[in-house]
Structure formats: C-alpha cells, structure tokens
Structure 1
C-alpha cells in the first residue's frame, strides 16, 4: 500500500477509496479480470461505485504503471496486478487467461534485434491453446 500512496502523491493524483479498492482487488488475484468483472466483484462493498468509475480507476492505475492492461485479441481488455515481466496464455474455448511463469522470453528481444535494424525496447508474447478444464470437459 505504501507503493500506491507514494506514486499517487508523487504524481499529484487523488488516491480515492475506489482506486484503492480496484488496485487491492487486482493485487489479490491471479485471474486477469475485465473491468466488468472487477465492478461486479466490488459492488457489494462499494454499491455506489459505477462501472465508469472502475474504468477511470483502471486507466489511472495503468498510466502510473501499477497494473498492466492486457489485450489477448478478444476486443476486451483484461487487467493484471502482477507487474513482473511475464507472458500470458489464453484458452481459445472459455477465454481464461493465465500467467506463464518460470520461462523467460527475454532472449526473443535479442533474437529480433539481431535480425532487424530496430532497437528492441520491449515485447509482449501471448500464447493460445485449450485449458485443462476445457480439455477434460471435451469442450474444444
């Protein structure tokens, strides 16, 4: 919590209870929820908070680099409280998104750099497949 307080003070932004709630929610889950999912989860504790407020909180938290916005191609942004560099995998059946941990893809930046005249700054790597639940349910 000190991190968010310091960053907001540094950027001269107001640290509202709604922004704190959205941030805490994302830090407490390994899921990659949409704004609508976050809104529904926080509704019981924050009944007066609107979906627009959740979107604004997410936008601000992304801008100050406290959370990541991820787009795995479904046209619906998801949010990630894990700021460590990592890739994602999405189930093509149910849409579930998981972190890929324990594998570093940083060598891809070096490989691309050696095959182009670009200075590679960063990259995002997404993988697509069928999750274990969908495989066992024979959904695919």
Structure 2
C-alpha cells in the first residue's frame, strides 16, 4: 500500500513525507470515516510536530490523486474515506458514527436520475440518517 501512495505522490509532483504516509495509512486501516481532527488526534503522539493544517492539506492532495473520498454527512466538518468506490453511508444522529452501507445496488436509481434530468452523471454520494444499534440500546435503558 505504501509503495502505491509513494509512487502516486511523486508521479503527481507532491513530496513524500512521513506524515502524509501516516495519514493515508491510518485512513486506509479504518472504516470509521474520521474527520481531520480525529486523524490529527490519532497521529499526534507519533508526529508531535504535525499540525491540523497538514492533515487538511494532505486530505486535499490525497483526494486530488484519487486515494480518498471527501464525505459531507451533514456535520460541521468533512469525513474521509479511503474506499473511493461509489457506495452509500449511514450516519447515526445520536453519536455521529458514519458507516458504509454494503450490498446496496444503486445502479437503477442512478440511471433513473440520469434519464429524468438528462444529466451525464459523473459521481454520486448517498447518505442515510438514523439511530445506530448501540444508541438504540442506550435509549431502551
């Protein structure tokens, strides 16, 4: 994985830094869809000189070279996903957790939107909102 990002960064004219590699590796190893502050807090102990601005800049670079997706799940800050395939997400309205929704085929819906609008669709993001199972259990207590 690191070889891929290293060569992509160099190929696109960006410096390869330990912080950039750590940010991508952290993101690629989680399904929690963290925001920049979460990434910063996770890596702060290992990279004490890294700033929050470095995380934001790295996310923009990684988006530009196609390694991350930026998610807007209706919060004050963006979330990030190393899975760049088109897939929906669900966000808990209680705890804020954002998860992938697997095994949903949205191809027909996307076709309907394209036909109904005459747009040539190039991308889409689907978000669902609800209460996660953990928060539902807390509500019962």
TM-score by length of 1: 0.93
Runs of 4+ in structure 1 deviating by more than 2 angstroms, as ranges, are none
What aligned pairs does 1:1-140 form with structure 2 within 5 A after superposition?
Answer: 1-138=2-139
In structure 1, runs of 5+ residues without a counterpart are none
Number of residue equivalences: 139
Structure-1 separation of matches of 2:17 and 2:130: 39
**Larger deviation, residues 129-138 vs 53-62:** 53-62
The answer to whether the Cα contact below 8 Å between 2:86 and 2:124 also exists between their aligned partners in 1 is no
In structure 2, runs of 5+ residues without a counterpart are none
Structure-1 separation of matches of 2:65 and 2:10: 11
TM-score by length of 2: 0.93
Structure-2 separation of matches of 1:33 and 1:117: 35
Structure-1 separation of matches of 2:139 and 2:87: 29
RMSD: 1.3
1:28 positional shift:
0.6
Structure-1 separation of matches of 2:49 and 2:117: 52
